Structure formats: structure tokens, C-alpha cells
């Protein structure tokens, strides 16, 4: 019985490993239609008897303003094009700062956030963190940096029921992702740490201050052009 159970566990592990590879390879070329977070948020709204909404429109990276591309890199992960998925320098800095900070800050890269958003669930645990590391390695190996950024900008939560650049551009600025200005892009990036608390459509004084800092950072960083 123990041998049979062990064999079943091995087959299950092999099946899950194969499925994860298939999904990563599929999403290397196919638009991501929906993520676990989108489904969870929609179910939460339904459970609260709220008017459930899910706004999500996939657009290629070339149809997303370079302003937004630069703003999220300036705000979220300035060494995105340099690291292999994990920014060890920022991890060390975060550990040192968190010894004295009241609220600990994370050091998740855009690659890690993409892995979590597309393949996993939002609730944090050591098990989920381990899977996040695993999927981050996979997408860094199989996807290009532009593909990671494309999936990130199309899948990340940017407001209540709003996911991705095109949806937030339409809902908050009555424009398209390709036409977002520097100021609009910086506002969107400023809300990303907590898009359910902060809004790029009705920014608080705190978000306006963050926008100015992001605009300043955008002038200082060098982001390579999109690959053809």
C-alpha cells in the first residue's frame, strides 16, 4: 500500500510538473485570458452582493504606451532588464530596512509579480512563495523580458474589477493604452502597490506625491526599446 501511494504521489508530481511547463510554454505565445486573481476577486464581489465587474482587454505590448512601460519599471523594478528574476540587491536592502521599518517592504520583481498573478493565488504563504520562485525561474527561462512585461501589463490589477493597461486606460482616462501620457502612466504606477485602496482616476494627495517621484525616476532610468 505504501509503495502504491508513493507511486501515485510521484505520478501526481510528474503530472503537475508537466502541466506547469505546458502552461508556461502556452502563455509564451498565447494571450492570458484570465488569471486566478481575476476569478477570486469576481467571486468575492458576488459573495458581498456587490455589482461584480471584470474589465480586461488584452493588447500587444507594441500597443501599450512606452510611458506606462517606463513608469512601472521606474516604480516597481528598476533593474528588471538586468536581473534574472530576483533582485538580490533589493532583497538585501529590504532585509536591512525592515529591521527598523514599522511596515516591512517587499522586494518582489516584475517577474515574480507576473508569476504570482498568472499562475497562483493572492494569499501569501511559504508554500505559495515556493511556487512563485519556481514559476519565476520558468518564465525567465522560457519567456523574453518583453513577453514578461507584456503579460504583466495586461494582467495586473489596476483597480476594482480592472485588470491590465487597456482596461484602466478606458475606465479611468477615457483613452487607450497606446495613448497614455506620462502623467497618466505615472498615476497608474503609483497605485500598483494597492490598487483597491488607491485610485488613478481619483488620486489622493499621497498618490499625487508618488506620481511626481515616479516622473522624476522616469527621467533617470534608461529603458531599452522594445524588441521587434
Look-up of cell digits 529603458: 223
The 55-56 sheet, strands edge to edge:
55-56, 162-163, 157-159
The predicted structure's pLDDT at residue 226: 78
Residues 6+ apart with CB under 8 A from 166: 57, 58, 59, 63, 64, 154, 176, 177
- Write the pLDDT tens digit of every residue in 25-56: 999 999 999 999 999 999 988 888 778 889 99
Segments in the chain below pLDDT 70? 1, 94-95, 97-106, 228
Q: How would DSSP label each residue in 55-120?
A: EE----GGGS-HHHHHHHHHHH-TTTTTSSS--HHHHHHHHHHTTT-SS------HHHHHHHHHHS
**What is the model's pLDDT at position 181?**
97
> What pLDDT was estimated at residue 106?
63
Amino acid 91: pLDDT: 74
Q: Is 168 helix (H, G, I), strand (E, B) or coil?
A: helix
* Domain 10-220 sits in CATH 1.10.3810.10: yes
Query: Quick one: how far is CA 94 from the chain centroid?
Result: 19
At 204 the pLDDT is 96
Could you report the per-residue pLDDT of 111-131, keeping only the tens digit for each? 999 999 999 988 878 889 999
Domain residue ranges of the chain, discontinuous segments joined by +: 10-220
Q: Could you report how far apart the first and last alpha carbons of the chain are, in Å?
A: 56
Taking CA 61 as the corner, what is the angle to CA 59 and CA 63, rounded to the nearest 5 degrees?
60
Q: How far apart are CA 21 and CA 38, in angstroms?
A: 22
For the record, the C-alpha cell of 129 comes out as: 512563495
C-alpha Rg value of the chain to the nearest Å = 19
CB count within 10 Å of CB 188 equals 31
How far apart, in whole angstroms, are the C-alpha atoms of residue 43 and residue 51?
11
Of 120, 196, 110, residue with least CA distance to 152: 110
- Which pLDDT score is estimated for 17? 87
Amino acid at each position: 500500500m505504501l509503495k502504491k501511494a508513493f507511486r501515485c504521489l510521484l505520478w501526481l508530481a510528474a503530472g503537475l510538473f508537466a502541466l506547469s511547463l505546458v502552461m508556461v510554454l502556452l502563455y509564451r505565445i498565447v494571450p492570458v485570458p484570465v488569471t486566478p486573481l481575476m476569478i477570486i476577486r469576481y467571486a468575492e464581489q458576488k459573495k458581498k452582493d456587490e455589482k461584480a465587474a471584470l474589465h480586461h482587454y488584452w493588447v500587444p505590448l507594441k500597443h501599450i504606451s512606452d510611458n506606462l512601460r517606463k513608469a512601472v519599471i521606474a516604480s516597481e523594478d528598476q533593474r528588471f532588464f538586468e536581473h534574472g528574476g530576483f533582485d538580490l540587491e533589493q532583497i538585501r536592502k529590504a532585509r536591512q530596512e525592515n529591521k527598523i521599518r514599522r511596515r516591512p517592504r517587499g522586494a518582489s520583481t516584475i517577474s515574480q509579480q507576473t508569476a504570482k498573478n498568472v499562475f497562483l493565488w493572492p494569499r501569501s504563504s511559504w508554500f505559495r512563495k515556493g511556487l512563485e520562485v519556481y514559476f519565476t525561474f520558468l518564465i525567465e527561462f522560457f519567456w523574453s523580458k518583453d513577453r514578461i512585461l507584456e503579460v504583466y501589463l495586461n494582467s495586473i490589477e489596476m483597480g476594482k474589477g480592472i485588470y491590465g493597461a487597456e482596461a484602466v486606460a478606458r475606465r479611468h482616462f477615457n483613452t487607450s493604452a497606446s495613448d497614455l501620457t506620462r502623467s497618466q502612466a505615472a498615476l497608474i504606477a503609483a497605485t500598483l502597490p494597492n490598487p483597491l485602496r488607491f485610485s488613478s482616476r481619483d488620486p489622493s494627495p499621497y498618490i499625487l506625491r508618488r506620481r511626481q517621484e515616479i516622473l522624476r525616476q522616469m527621467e533617470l532610468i534608461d529603458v531599452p526599446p522594445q524588441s521587434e
